[in-house]
Amino acid sequence: MITLADAMNLGLKEFQRRYTRRVGIRYSLIEYPGGDCVFFDPDRRTCRVYDLRPRQCRTWPFWRSNLRNARAWEEMAESCPGVNRGKLYTLEEIERLRDVLHI
């Protein structure tokens, strides 16, 4: 999130105050009631900070909660229009990325 804060000419504390919420010991980007991220552009249907997105975004949808089993994946995919499109990753690739990114 430091990269995003720097790009917006904000100190880390100010960025966190404006754009994040505390989840346990971590910070997460704020989401609107419908689940859209604070940086999601609803008109263009794109991320406004895609090139600088934090790890929580770079690793989606390969979160442990989504990889528990096929049902968890399908439930998540029902609400995420980008899932199951684009490059198809093998289980080995997903596990390698998970280990490198510590997700």
Residue 102 has what pLDDT?
65
Q: Residue 100: helix, strand or coil by DSSP?
A: helix
Element (DSSP H or E) covering residue 14: helix 12-19
Domain ranges of the chain: 1-53, 59-103
Q: What is the DSSP string of 55-79?
A: HHHHTTT--HHHHS-HHHHHHHHHH
Residue 53 has what pLDDT?
87
Contact (CB, 8 A) for 10 and 17:
no
Rounded CA separation 70/1 (Å): 31
Grouped pLDDT means (10 residues each) for the chain, 103 residues: 87 94 91 89 90 86 88 91 84 80 64
